[in-house]
Structure 1
Amino acid sequence: MISDRAIGFAGLVLSTAFFLYYIAWIGVMPHVDRSHFTQDFFPPCEYGLFLASLVMVTGIGLSITLASFHVILKSGYHSPPKAHTPIR
């Protein structure tokens, strides 16, 4: 079985590699000539900006949703009683 230390190291290496690739993609490649061969290794920069926006909006939305549920559950909220319809 793989130890926790090995899993943590693999996660660190993968996240560092992704971070460096993303920095090169968004920070460096817009300044490189379009005809250079390194442009073939990266998708258009618009996709990177869309990806970052999507992750940010999803993270903020999920955080707000979880915080709202936490507040609702901790405040002791009970649904209002059903309306009583009078008999005619």
Structure 2
Amino acid sequence: MATGADQVVGVGIVGLSGIIFTYYTLWLVILPFVDSDHVVQNFFPDRIYAVTIPVAAGVLLLVVLCAFIAVAKLKSKSKEKTN
């Protein structure tokens, strides 16, 4: 069973994810239909960032994952040589 602290962290993560999802959805789906001089436009960056930020995050994730796999393989090969 999860402790109280684990539950609070879980609720926080789910809440933050929901806020990010809502913000991103508003940014991509609703904002194109709002006038460009409306005050709501000030709360969102340019739409080009809606594509570049997730792509950059995905590429960074792949680089970190590949580096982790490479380091793990190199360590396992060095262990085989010493045994």
- TM above 0.5, yes or no, is yes
- Structure 1: 5+ residue stretches without partners: 79-88
- Structure 2: 5+ residue stretches without partners: none
Aligned alpha-carbon RMSD (Å):
2.0
Cα deviation 1:45-85 (Å, max 9, x = unaligned) = 1122221121011001000100111111112276xxxxxxx
TM-score by length of 1: 0.72
Q: Tell me the SS of whatever aligns to 1:3.
A: helix
Query: As a proportion of its length, which structure holds more helix?
Result: 2
TM superposition outliers: structure 1 runs of 4+ over 6 Å? none
Residue range with higher mean Cα deviation, 33-42 or 65-74: 33-42
Greater Rg by CA: 1
Distance 2:33 2:62 in 1: 31
Aligned match of 1:7: 9
Aligned match of 1:82: none
TM-score by length of 2: 0.75
Distance 1:75 1:48 in 2: 41
- Shift in Å, 1:15: 1.2
